[in-house]
Structure 1
Amino acid sequence: MIIKPAFSPSAKDILRDRYLWRDENRNPIEKPEQMLERVAKHVAGAESSLAMQYKWADEFYDVMAKLLFLPNSPTLMNSGRPAPHGQLAACFVIGVEDSMEGICEALRKQMLIHKSGGGTGFNFSKLRSEGAKVNSTNGRASGPVSFMGLFDKATETVQQGGMRRGANMGILNIDHPDIRKFIHCKDKDGTITNFNISVGVFDDFMEKVNSDPRGEEAALLAEIADSAWRTGDPGIIFLDAINRGNTTPNLGELTSTNPCGESPLYPNEACNLGSINIAKMVKEGAFDYELLGEVSAVATRFLDDVIDVNHYPLPEIAEAVKLTRKIGLGVMGWADLLFQLRIPYDSKEAYELAENIMRTIQQRAHETSVALGKEKGIPETLAHLGRRNATLTCIAPTGTIALLANCSSGIEPLFALEHTRVRTQTDGTKVIMKQVNRYYEQAQKEGLPEEVMKRVFVTSHDVSPSAHVRMQGVFQRYTDLAVSKTVNLRHECSVQDVLDAYTLAWREGCKGITVYRDGSKSSQVLYRKEDEKKAEEESTQKSAPKGEPVPVMAAARPRFVLKRPQ
C-alpha cells in the first residue's frame, strides 16, 4: 500500500470534516491514505486466509487510492470500528404494519439504523386511511401521512454518529385512499423535510392513463405532475417494473426502496453500494474497457466482503442481508467522461457508450459473483441464480463520494460548467464553494471550435427531458436494482413536460422517475454562475474556522441534482 491517494484539496477538506477518525478532542488521528488502508484491511478481513487478506487489502487500496472506485460513505467512515459502531451499509428498508405495535417497531428500527449511519425506506400503504375505524379503541385512524410526521421528527432527533442526519423514502401506492393527501404533504416548504416521497404506480394505472386521457387515472397523474412541477415532490416508483427485475420472487414482492430510490429491497434488507469512476478510464483518447473490467471485478469482491465484515444494527437485518447478499456496483463521472471523449450527452454515440459500459460492468460483476460462489459457497436461497449475490449493480447519486473522486455525480449531466455549491456545517454555518469544470477549462485553452463547445459541453438544463429519461433507461437495462437520476427541468417548462417524462420513463422500463424544475424550492444546494449572488444572499456563511474544521451535517438529501431517483 504505497500509492498516495490523489485527493484534491477540496476532497481533503471534506475528508477532515466527515471521514477521518478523531480523538476525544476531535483532532484527526489519521491521514487520507491511512483511512483507505483502514478500509481496505477491514474489508479484506472477510477473506479466508491471511495470505488472501494481504492480497485483497492491496487490491482494494489500489483501486481506491487511484480514485477508480469508492464505496458508499458509511464504509469509508466506519470500517474498523468495533461493534456495534462498524455499520457499513448505506441503504435499508423497513416494513410498516398496520398496528400501533408495528408502527412503533418500525420507528425503533429507523432510529437505530439512523444512529448507525444508514438511510431508511418505507412503504406506508398497509396503514389504514385517515378516519378509518380502529376496533381496539373504537376510535379513528390518523392515516399514513400523520404517522410519516412522527418518523420525520425522529429523524430530526437522531444524528448519524455525530456526522449527519438520516434520510428517508416514503412511498404510498396509487390505490391508497389517502393518496391525494400524500401527494400534497410536502406542498408547504419545511414540512416532512427528512423524507423524499414517491407514489407507487402499477402498469394497469399507466395503461388506463394512456387509453383514457380524460379519465380518473389521467387526472390523478396530472395532479402528481403538477405537484412535482411546483415543489419537486413526489416522485414515482414503477412497482411492476421493480418486480419484473426481482431475482428472488419466491421471497415476495418488492414494495419499498432506499431514500434515493435506487435500491428496491425487502423489509430488513440493506444494500452495500460502491461506484466506479469511469471519468478516470480514458486512455489515448478512447475508453479503456480492459481497465473497467479489472476494476469491476475487484469492486464486486470488495462489496461482497463488506457483507461479511459489517456490524448490522439488528440481528434480523444481518439475517436478511446474508440471505440474498445484495450488492450495488454503479458508476460516477459520466458527464466528465463524455466531455473528455467530446461526445454530446444526448447523442446516439452517448447512448451506445452507456450501454457498452454498463453491460461490461454487469458481465464482469456476474462472472466475479459466480467465481465467488464456487470459492465461498452459494447460499441455498440463491442456488437458482448460480451466483453468490442476488443483485450486483445499482446506480446511486454519488453526492459526496463524487466530490472525493473529483468527478461528476452519477450519470447526471453537469449541473453547470461553473457553479457554486452551498455546504452546511454542524454549527449551522454555510460554506460556499465555487467550482469550474476542468475539462471545460481545458477545452477553452485548446481553442475548440465554438460549435463543438456548444454541442459537447452541455449542462442539465441544456438536455431535453426526453434525453434525461432515455439515458436513465439505457443504464437501467444493465442494472439489477435501479438507477438514481433526476430529470432537471428549466424553470419555464410546463406540467405537460413532466407528464411526458412520466410516460416515457414507464415505456423505457425505468423503475422510477424524479423531476426537479429549477427554482421550485426556496433553497438549493447548487447554483449556476448567474445565480451566484442569490446563493450568497441566502447563505449565512462565515469564514471557515482556521485549524480544526467541524464535521458537515448533511440535510436529508441534497435537494437539487442529487435529489432522489430511481
Structure 2
Amino acid sequence: MPAAKVPADLPVPNLNQNARLVLAKRYLRKGPDGAPIEDEQGLFWRVAHSIASRESAYAGSSWKADKLARTFYDLMTSFKFLPNSPTLMNAGTDLGQLAACFVIPVGDSMDEIFDAVKHAALIHKSGGGTGFSFSRLRPTNSRVGSTGGVASGPVSFMRIFNTATEQVKQGGTRRGANMGILRVDHPDILEFIRCKEREGDLNNFNISVALTEAFMQAVEDDEPYDLVAPHTKEVFGQLKAREVFAILVQKAWESGDPGIIFLDRINRDNPTPAVGEIESTNPCGEQPLLPYEACNLGSLNLALMTRDSRDGVDWDELKRVVHLAVRFLDNVIDASVYPLDRITEMVGANRKIGLGVMGFADLLYQLNIPYDSHEALNLAEKIMDFIQTESKAASKVLAEERSPFPNFPGSVFEGRKQGPFRNATTTTIAPTGTLSILAGCSSGIEPLFALSFARHVMDGEKLVESNPYFETAVKAAQCHSPKLMEEVAAKGSIAHISYIPEEIRRTFVTAMDIEPVWHLKMQAAFQKFTDNAVSKTVNLPNSATQEDIHKIYWLAYELGCKGVTVYRDGCKSAQVLCTGDGSKQEKPDERKESKVRHRPDVCYGFTQKVKTGYGDLYLTVNEVDGKPFEMFATIGKSGRSITAKAEAIGRLVSLALRSGVDVADVVGQLKGIGGENPVFQKKGLLLSLPDAVSWVLENRYLQGRAKAEDFQSLNVPTCPECAEELVFEEGCYVCKACGFTKCG
C-alpha cells in the first residue's frame, strides 16, 4: 500500500530522545533491509490519514475526511491521545490489522482445539494478543467416546498453545501473548493453579482463575463446593473452598501467577447477553470479550489535561479529546482487516471500543495530591465518571450519524431505554507501557515506579533521567543537586531522604511507597465508571505475607473489581542478579568450585515424622558441628515411585549440604513446590514431599534467623533486548528504556 503523502505544512512532532528510539525500533515502517522507510511525521500522518479516510463512508458525518485527518494528526502528535500499538504499526499498511485484543474459543474436540491454535497463530502474526478459556475441555483421564482413550486435560493442551506461540513469536512483528483462564469449578483446577510454579513453564501465558460468586460464598462459609465436568455437566467431586483459595494465594505470593477474575461480575456487565456469555479476557485481563470478539483501545493523557482552575482539571479540553477519540476508535473498526471472518462479523455486530487513560500519576503530581489519599480516589472517580459520560454521549452522536451497533436490539441498553449507541462498550483502562514512553508520561493509572533512574547508554555511560514534575518541585524547594538525583536513581524513591521537604515526600510517592490497599482502592475507583475492566498491578514488598495477598483478593471482591493481579517484589526465583545501583554481581562461572565433604564414621541427628498427602514421612537429619550435614527421607505405605522420589530428594539435599550450600538456600528451592495431594494440618498447608522437607529444615534451623524467603535476593529482571531493568506494572513486564513488553 503506498504511503499517504505528507502535506508540506504539517508540523513536525516534538519528541524526546527516548520516544524517538522507541518509534524507530518498534513503529516506523521498515524496508527489506530493516532500515526505516518513514520518519515520525510520516508515521503519524499515515495513521491519521488512514483512520480519517473512513469518514467519507458516512454521508451524515459532521466532518470532512481531510480536515479530520489534520485534527487526528494534531491529537496524536500533541500526545493527548494515542491508539493501541497495532493501530500505530499497521494503519495504512497492507497488513491493516489494528486491534490489540482478541478472545478465541476452545471447544472440547480435537478439531476445535487445533483450530484455536491456528487462529491464535494468525492473530499473533498480525500483532494481536489472545485470550482463551479452557473451561470447556473435559478433565484429565475422562473417556473420549470417539477413540475409547482418555483426555489429557486443559493444562496439557495449554502447552501446545504455548509452543505454537513461541514459534510465531520468532518471526512475527510483535511478541505473542496469551491469557489462559479456567473456571474454579473445573475438575482440573488445582493442576491449573500450579501450572506455572516451575520457572519458565507456560512462559507465553498469563493465567487467571475464573472465580464464581458461589465459590466466594463457599470460601466465606468454609464449605465445600462442587466440581463440574464441562462435557457432561455432572458433579465430578468436591473441594474445600478455603483450601483452594489458600493455594491460589500461595501461588500468587510465590510468583504473581495466577491472577483472578470475577466471572459473574463480568457477565453482569455484559452489554449483549443474548449474543453469548463472556468466558475470557485479553492477555492483561482488562478486556473481557465474547468468543471471536476483538477490541481496539486508546488512551487519553491526563498529564496534559490541567489548567489553572478550582480543581486543576481542564474539563473542556478533556471533553473535546474524548469525543475525538471515540470517533477515531470507531473509525478504526472500519479500517481494520481482521484475520478471521468470524472476528470481522462479531466486531461489526458489537463495535466495542476501549478508551482509557495514562498520565494519572503525573496529574496528581502537578496538583500536589498524594496517590494514597482519599483526595486522589475522589479525583479518579470524578475523572472516569466524566470520561464515561462523555464517551457515551459521543457514541450516541455517532449512532445518529451512522446507525447503532447491530446488536443494539436485545442489548441491556434497549432494556434500560438508553442510547441508542454506536458502540457496545466505550471504556477500558488498558496497559500503556510503550504508549506512555512515546507520550512521556506515567503509565495508565499506576503510580510512578521510580522518580529517577539511571539509563545505560553507550560504552558504560549512565544517563540519569528524572520525572520532570519532581525535578521542578525540588528545584523550587532549592534542594536540587546532581548528587540528590543520583541518590534517587539508586533507590527510586525519596521516602528515605529526610532533608527533602515533607510536602514533597508526601506528594511524590512511588509504587513501593504505597500500602497495597491503596493500589486496590485506586483500581476500584476507576472500575466504578469503566465498561470493561482495569489493568492495574497491586505492588507488594518482598516482605509481604500470604495473608496480605489474601486480604487484597478478598477486598477486590468486596470493592467491585473485575479481577486483580498482585506482584511481590523479587518473587521470581530465576531473575537476573543485580543491585539497586546496577553494579556487577558474581557470574555463575566465577563461583568457587564446590567440594563435597567426606562423611565422618559417626553422625548424630534427629528423626521427625511429618504427615503428607502420600502418608507419613520420616525425615532423618544428621549434623556435623551443629549444622545439617545429610538427610534421609523414608515414606511408609507408599508405592515404589513415591519411595524412590523420597530417596532422591534425600540424596540431593545431602549432596547440597555436604557441598556447603546454606540450609536457607535449600529451603528456598524446595518450599512451595506443589504436588497432587496437598494436605492441611496444624503445621499449615504442605503441598508435597519437597515442601514437607523444607518445612522441617526451616523450623529446625532458620528459627531466629530471617525467614527463608528473606534470603532470596531482591532480584530485578532485565530486558532481553536492551538489558535495562524491567518493571512489573499493569499486569505485565515493561522496559521503560526501549518499550519491550512481555505482553505484546
Fold match (TM-score > 0.5): yes
Indicate whether 1:329 and 2:337 are aligned.
Answer: no
Residue matched to 1:368:
394
**8 Å contact from structure 1 (residues 333, 409) kept in 2:** yes
Q: Pick one of 6, 9, 16 that aligns with 2:17.
A: 9
Shift of 1:348: 1.1
Q: 1:481 to 1:554 in 2, by over 3 A?
A: farther
Q: How does 1:72-151 map to 2 (within 5 A)?
A: 72-82=84-94, 85-151=95-161
Aligned twin of 2:621: none
1:533 aligned residue (583, 601, 604):
583
- 1:106-160 CA-to-partner distances (Å, cap 9, x unmatched) read 0110000001110000000111111111111111111100100000001110038
In the alignment, residue 19 of structure 2 is paired with which amino acid?
A
What is the CA–CA distance in structure 1 between the aligned matches of 2:346 and 2:464, rounded to whole Å? 43
Q: Structure 1 residues 554 and 162, CA, compared in 2 at 3 Å: closer, same or farther?
A: farther
1:350-389 to 2 correspondences below 5 Å: 350-383=376-409, 384=414, 385-389=419-423
Q: Is 2:206 aligned against 1:172? A: no
Alpha-carbon separation, structure 2, partners of 1:260 and 1:561? 10
**1:45 corresponds to:** 53
From the superposition, tell whether residues 88 and 256 of structure 1 become closer, same or farther in structure 2 (CA, over 3 Å): same
Which of 491, 503, 519 does residue 452 from structure 1 map onto?
Answer: 503
SS in 2 for 1:189: coil
Alignment equivalent of 2:366, drawn from 323, 340, 358:
340
- Quick check: 1:68–1:276 contact (8 Å CA) kept in 2? yes
Range 222-231 or range 17-26, more displaced:
17-26
Following superposition of structure 1 onto structure 2, how do residues 281-360 of structure 1 map, counting pairs within 5 Å?
A: 281-284=305-308, 286-360=312-386
Q: Which residue of 2 aligns with 1:546?
A: none
Match of residue 26 from structure 1? 34
Report the counterpart of residue 216 of structure 1 in structure 2.
240
Match of 2:524 in 1: 473
User: What is the aligned counterpart of 1:498 among 549, 573, 586?
Assistant: 549
Task: Label 1:503 to 1:554 Cα distance change in 2 as closer, same or farther (>3 A).
Answer: farther
- Give the 3 Å change call, closer, same or farther, for CA 526–560 of structure 1 in structure 2: farther
Whether the 8 Å CA contact 2:125–2:174 is kept in 1: the answer is no
| SS of structure 2 residue aligned to 1:229 | helix
- For the 8 Å contact 1:490–1:517, the answer to whether it is kept is yes
Matches within 5 A, 1:209-288: 209-212=219-222, 216-284=240-308, 286-288=312-314
Superposition deviation, residue 100 in structure 1: 0.3
CA offset at residue 508 of structure 1?
A: 0.9
Q: Residues 488 and 517 of structure 1 are in contact (CA less than 8 Å); yes or no, is this contact kept in structure 2?
A: yes
Bigger Rg, structure 1 or 2 = 2
- AA aligned opposite 1:208: A
| Matched position secondary structure for 2:453 | strand
Matched-pair identity in %: 51
Assess if the C-alpha contact under 8 Å between 1:420 and 1:526 holds in 2: no
Q: Who is 1:560 aligned against? A: 728
Query: Does 1:390 pair with 2:424?
Result: yes
Instruction: Out of 99-108 and 409-418, give the one that drifted further.
Output: 409-418
**Residue 240 (structure 2) pairs with residue 206 (structure 1):** no
Shift, 1:562, TM fit: 3.6
Measured after TM superposition, the shift of residue 378 of structure 1 is 1.4
Please show how residues 423-434 of structure 1 align to structure 2 within 5 Å.
none
For structure 1, list consecutive stretches of 5 or more residues without a partner in the other structure.
424-429, 539-550
The 10-residue stretch of structure 1 (191-200 or 371-380) with the greater mean CA deviation from structure 2: 371-380
**1:414 and 2:448 aligned:** yes
Instruction: Give the superposition deviation at 1:207.
Output: 1.9
Residues 143 and 150 of structure 2 are in contact (CA less than 8 Å); yes or no, is this contact kept in structure 1?
yes
Alpha-carbon distance in 2 for matches of 1:535, 1:437: 28
What is the aligned length? Answer: 542
Shift of 1:163: 2.9
| Residues 510 and 296 (structure 1), Cα distance of their counterparts in 2 relative to 1, 3 Å cut | same
Superposition map of 1:539-554 within 5 A:
none
User: Is 1:70 aligned with 2:82?
Assistant: yes
Q: Deviations over 1:492-516 (max 9, x none)?
A: 0100110100111111110000000
- Residues 348 and 406 in structure 2, CA contact (< 8 A), matched pair in contact too: no
> SS of the counterpart of 1:274?
strand
Q: Quote the offset at 1:401 in angstroms.
A: 0.6
Secondary structure of 2:31's aligned partner: coil
2:539 maps to: 488
* CA distance in 2: counterparts of 1:92 and 1:458, whole angstroms: 35
Do the aligned residues in 1 keep the contact of 2:350 with 2:406 (CA within 8 Å)?
Answer: no
Q: Distance in 2 between matches of 1:16 and 1:335?
A: 27
Gaps (5+ residues) in structure 2?
1-8, 225-238, 479-499, 589-718, 734-744
Q: Closer, same or farther in 2 for the Cα pair 1:209/1:535, shift >3 Å? A: farther
8 Å contact kept, 1:115–1:160: no
Question: Residues 432 and 402 of structure 1: is their aligned pair in 2 closer, same or farther, counting only changes over 3 Å?
Answer: farther
The answer to which of 1-10 and 468-477 deviates more is 1-10
What value does the CA root-mean-square deviation take over the aligned residues? 2.7
Partners of 2:370 and 2:509 within 8 A in 1: yes
Q: Give TM-score scaled by structure 1 length.
A: 0.91
TM-aligned CA deviation for residue 419 of structure 1: 3.4
2:492 aligns to what? none
Question: Aligned to 2:471, which of 414, 438, 441?
Answer: 441
Q: Distance in 2 between matches of 1:382 and 1:526?
A: 54
Q: For residues 160-195 of structure 1, what are the alpha-carbon distances to aligned partners after superposition, in whole Å with 9 as ceiling and x for unaligned?
A: 874321100000110111111111111111110000
Aligned-partner Cα distance in 2 for 1:172–1:33 = 45
**What is the CA distance between 1:421 and its match in structure 2?**
7.3
Q: Is the 8 A contact 2:52 2:65 kept in 1?
A: yes
Amino acid at match of 1:306: V
Partners of 1:287 and 1:525 in 2: CA distance: 42
Equivalent in 437, 451, 467 of residue 403 of structure 1: 437
Q: Is the 8 A contact 2:405 2:424 kept in 1?
A: no
SS in 2 for 1:381: coil
Match of 1:548 in 2: none
Query: Which of 39, 44, 57 lines up with 1:36 in the alignment?
Result: 44
User: RCO higher in 1 or 2 (8 Å CA, sep ≥ 6)?
Assistant: 1
Secondary structure at 2:583 match in 1 = helix
Is the contact between residue 293 and residue 361 of structure 1 (CA under 8 Å) also seen in structure 2?
A: yes
Alignment-mate amino acid for residue 441 of structure 1: E
> Per-residue deviation at 1:564?
4.8
Question: Secondary structure of the residue that 1:188 maps to in structure 2?
Answer: coil
- Cα deviation per residue 1:325-375 (whole Å; 9 max; x = unaligned)? 000000001111111111000111101111111111111111110010010
Q: TM-score, normalised by structure 2?
A: 0.70
Of residues 518-527 and 440-449 in structure 1, the stretch that sits farther from structure 2 once superposed is: 518-527
Find the aligned partners of 1:115 and 1:16 in 2 and give their Cα distance.
Answer: 20
User: Partner of 1:199: helix, strand, or coil?
Assistant: strand
